[in-house]
Structures are given as C-alpha cells and as structure tokens.
Amino acid sequence: ETGSGFQRYLDASVLDEMFQMRNDLCDEEFEEILWNKVRLVPACQFMQPVLTRSGHCYTFNTVSFFKNVRPQYAAVVQFSLTETNQVPDENLPEDYNDNNISDIAPSLSIYHSFERTERNSTRNADEEILWNERHKMPWKIREFSVYGGVSMILNFRSHDFDETCSLGDRSFSVLIHSPMELPDIYAAHHIVQTKMAALITVTPQLTMASRSILNLPPARRGCYLSHEHRLQYFSFYSQRNCELECQANWTLQQCGCAAPFHPREENTPICGMSMQPCLSLVGRSYEKCHCLPDCDHATYTTTLTTFHRRQLSFNRTEKAQIVVTFSKKGYIAREARGIAGKAEVIGKIGGLLSLFMGASVISLLEIVYFASLRPLVVLWNYWKCAKVASTSRQTLSAWEH
C-alpha cells in the first residue's frame, strides 16, 4: 500500500531480508574481538543483531532475545531461523542441548557452520571455558584493567558509506546499556572515529530498595518490584523496556502501525516512509507511560578516552579499535529508603525536645494540657465566678428592699 509516492507499510519479509543481508557482512565489519584477553572466533558468533532507532546494530554480552522477550515478540526477531539451525551438533558439550548457537545469535543462522570449523581447531583452557559457557551470557569480567572486558577491531566499509546518513562522518556509534535492555539512544552514547583507538571505562551504580519501603504502594515508593508490573513484550521489567513498549503501543494506536525498531507482534503492520510524519508527531506527544524505575536497578557512568592509531588504516579499509572495561573493581551502591515514617517523626521530635528543652513525656502532657484543657478550665472558672457574683448582687439587692 502506498501514499504520497511513498510506501505506507513495509513488508516484514523484505525487512527481514535486508536485516539478513547486513548480518552476512558481519565478518567484514568485525575483524577481531577479545574477551578477557581470549580471542573469540568467529567474532560474529558472539554478536546479537538488533534493529534500533539509529539503524542496524550488534550488541555484545547481552541476555539472549529468547530469554529477554516473550514468545509473541521472539517470533518477530528470529527472522530466518529454521528448525535445522536449532539442532545442536553432536560434538558440542553435553550441557549445550537447549542452549545452542541460535540462542546467542538468533538471526545469524548462516554462522551455524561455527561448530564444523571449530571441531578441528585446538583451544586452550580459556577458550575451552568460552566454548562451554558462551550460552550463559552475560559474562563477568575477570580483570579490571585495559586487558579485561572486551576489545574490538572494527572495519569501516567506506565503499558502502553514504555521507548523507547519520552524522556524515566515518565513525562508529557505541552504546553502553544494561544486558536486560535493548540498545537505544537513551543509553550512554559515544562516537568513535576511524583511525582512532578508544578506551571506554564504565562505572556501574547499583540502587537497591530497603526493606522499609517494600510494603508501600508503588506510587509512594517510587519504583516497581520485579513482579508488580508485567510487560507485554519483555520478560524483564526495567524503566527503559517499559517506556519502549509504551511508545510502541501508543504508536500502534495513533498511526495504525509500529516503527521498524519497536517491539511488535508478528501480524502488526510496519510503518513505511509515508508514515514518518505520524511517527515523528507521536514520538513527541505519546501519552504518559507511568513507567517507574525498577526498585533494584543499575545505571552506568562512562568515560571516553581516544588517541590516534595510524596502523589501523591501510588500503581501502578504515579501522577503529574499541576497548570497554570497568573503571575499578566493585560498584557504587545506593539504598533507596523512605525519608521518615510516622513513628520515626514522633521519635525524632521527642528526642529533639528532650535534648534542647529537657522535655519528657510529662512535659509533652503539660503541653497538651496548656494548649487544650487549660483554656477550658479558665473559661469554666470565669463563668463560675461570674455566676456567683451575679447571685451575690441579687441577694444584696433583696436585703436593701
């Protein structure tokens, strides 16, 4: 269906085919990936493709889509995955039965030959650990230095570059996000140009709710527990997943279709070029989502350091090196707690009065007495005295007569 010379809706099969074509070029874009100083071969086997607002991306060390999303959304993201690709090879580890290669990179069915190429290779102890545990992403960093974490050498395909797209510069966009969330423009975002080496240090901040606020309703508590707000498309609740789902539902309600990067069900229409004005308008005015933070959540503060590496450029291929690691061992912990309960407020007031005024329970009763009962007693005595005086005047007047 078309409108105004542009396509109104995109064919899902065409979008999947375009996605798969990009995946086929993955080996050309990722020259090398090191994890804790161990080389991952082939590199694309450990990358999970995902479509974002900025376009086609690869995410590393994230929770598998089949664990992070619900079945109605998983049917959309698995693309050309076939039953054959999901059959584990007989030479894989025994505990690999249900956690096959497709569970890590569901869209890269072309890389099912990974087992066949790896079976004849010799792996050291570290590589054997990766072989046995690659389906257990996200992995943990062993060493907190430039040699820990992940190091990537990326190739920039300059012959496919269009200067009218993106920032118009030969660069890579790097997003640091939670492994339970999809990469998005709201994540920590850095631009790394070609011919450059970049060191990105990450400082996690973990916020946890104290027991004192768990019994409060979410509106007063200001956060959701993991079981209090079930999402339609995502298995794990987070504020960002909630907002993304809310935007998708609001867009579907207002425009009758979903953006290509939005979570959706298999039969949901995908917005085409002629629907871009509606998407832009809805993106600025979608309804309030009421997406509170999750009570236990992590945020990431990042620092980017870049320097030139001339040897990263030769022939027609321009390269960049990116190293991502934690800034230090451990994390910054914060606890969310209520400011004060009723009993705590009363106790603090009593403590301050005792400290500065020598107050006690008797003093508190005296305050109540002089503030409420004492005025009533004074009024009663005044009224009683006035009544006695009036009676005396009447008696005196009678004697005079």
Q: Which residues have C-beta within 8 Å of that of residue 32, sequence separation ≥ 6?
A: 39, 43, 151, 152, 153
CA dist., res. 112 & res. 154, Å (int): 22
Tens of pLDDT along the chain (401 residues) come to: 444 456 788 887 877 787 778 777 888 889 889 988 888 888 888 888 888 887 888 889 888 777 778 877 766 665 433 322 332 333 333 333 333 333 333 332 222 333 333 333 444 555 545 544 555 677 877 777 777 789 999 988 776 666 666 565 778 889 998 888 888 777 778 888 888 889 999 988 888 888 878 888 888 888 898 888 889 888 889 888 998 888 888 889 889 999 888 888 888 899 888 888 888 887 666 567 788 888 888 888 899 988 887 665 555 458 889 999 888 877 777 777 766 667 777 777 777 767 666 656 677 777 777 787 778 877 887 777 776 666 655 555 544 55
How far apart, in whole angstroms, are the C-alpha atoms of residue 167 and residue 170? Answer: 8
For residue 200, what pLDDT is reported? Answer: 92
Q: How far apart are the first and last CA of the chain?
A: 116
How far, CA to CA in Å, does 360 sit from each of 71, 365, 374? 64, 9, 19
Instruction: Please tell me what DSSP assigns to residue 296.
Output: S
Residue ranges of domains in the chain: 9-83+120-212+290-336, 340-372
For residue 42, whether the previous peptide bond is cis, meaning omega lies within 30 degrees of 0, is yes
Q: Which residues, in sequence order, are CB contacts of 239 under 8 Å at separation 6+?
A: 291, 292, 293, 294, 297
> How are the residues of the chain apportioned to helix, strand and coil, as percentages rounded to the nearest 5?
40, 25, 35
- Confirm if 66 and 103 have CB atoms less than 8 A apart: yes
Query: Cα–Cα distance between 115 and 112 in angstroms, integer?
Result: 7
The helix (run of H) or strand (run of E) holding residue 389 is: helix 374-400
Residue 129 phi/psi, 5° resolution? -65, -45
pTM of the model: 0.68
Fold (CATH) for 9-83+120-212+290-336:
Acid-sensing ion channels like fold (2.60.470)
CA 303 to the chain's CA centroid: 19
- DSSP-based three-state secondary structure for 102: helix
Supply the pLDDT for residue 85. Answer: 30
Residue with tokens 């504020």: 239
